[in-house]
């Protein structure tokens, strides 16, 4: 298993001598010694630096390509978005969504997210939100992130043409914030 997990240079080391990323690799290698069909990973990248985290993502992707079933729990939404074929969103023990990440995003968040600076809220924006039955979300780092469908985005652009804004694709972070209320 050492070559598969790029652990050959550390064959003579004890686990205590390994970095966090290599300890995680060793942990996964040990879990695969008996060749299971499914591997359960509970927040495997918690506490890792970005380089070790990406290396572990690549390892997980390789294992998936080789046909290993992986059940992964994570609080890192970018990790779930990168690694998941299917995503189950739970809230207080209830399943809120169960599908591919993109389908879950489209169903629960929308097609677009409009980002408006908190200090650039014009009266037309509140009027448009009221007409759509929407509420201004809680600002995040001085910005409001409005999840909108395609038709809503067109209506927003028409009604609020003097409001500076950016449009981006929704992320699982948006979903998390949306579900957290």
Per-residue pLDDT of 71-82, as tens digits, reads: 999 888 888 888
Please give the pLDDT value at position 67.
92
| pLDDT tens figures, 124-174 | 888 999 999 988 887 888 898 888 989 999 999 999 888 899 999 988 888
Question: Where exactly are the structural domains of the chain?
Answer: 8-85, 104-180
Q: What confidence category does residue 12 fall into, taking pLDDT thresholds of 50, 70 and 90?
A: very high
Supply the pTM of this predicted model: 0.66
In the chain, the N- to C-terminal Cα span, in Å, equals: 45
Alpha helices, DSSP H, located in the chain: 20-32, 50-65, 77-83, 101-108, 123-132, 150-159, 172-180
Please give the pLDDT value at position 153.
94
Whether 104-180 and 8-85 are alike in CATH topology: the answer is no
Average pLDDT, rounded, for the chain: 87
Please give the pLDDT value at position 181.
61
Please give the pLDDT value at position 1.
80
**How would DSSP label each residue in 84-98?**
-SSEEEEETTEEEEE
| Structural class in CATH, domain 104-180 | alpha beta
> What kind of architecture, by CATH, is found in domain 8-85?
3-Layer(aba) Sandwich (3.40)
């Amino acid at each position: 298993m050492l070559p598969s997990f790029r652990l050959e240079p550390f064959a003579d080391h004890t686990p205590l001598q390994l970095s966090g990323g290599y300890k995680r690799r060793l942990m996964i290698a040990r879990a695969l010694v008996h060749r299971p069909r499914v591997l359960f990973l509970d927040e495997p990248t918690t506490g890792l630096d970005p380089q070790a985290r990406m290396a572990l993502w690549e390892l997980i992707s390789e294992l998936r390509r080789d046909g290993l079933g992986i059940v992964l729990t994570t609080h890192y939404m970018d990790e779930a978005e990168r690694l998941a074929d299917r995503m189950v969103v739970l809230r207080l023990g209830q399943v809120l969504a169960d599908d591919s990440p993109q389908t879950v995003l489209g169903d629960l968040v929308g097609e677009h997210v409009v980002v408006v600076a908190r200090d650039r809220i014009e009266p037309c924006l509140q009027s448009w939100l009221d007409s759509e039955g929407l509420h201004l979300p809680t600002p995040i780092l001085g910005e409001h992130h409005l999840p909108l469908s395609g038709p809503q985005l067109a209506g927003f652009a028409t009604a609020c043409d003097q409001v500076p804004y950016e449009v981006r694709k929704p992320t699982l972070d948006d979903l998390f914030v949306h579900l957290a209320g």
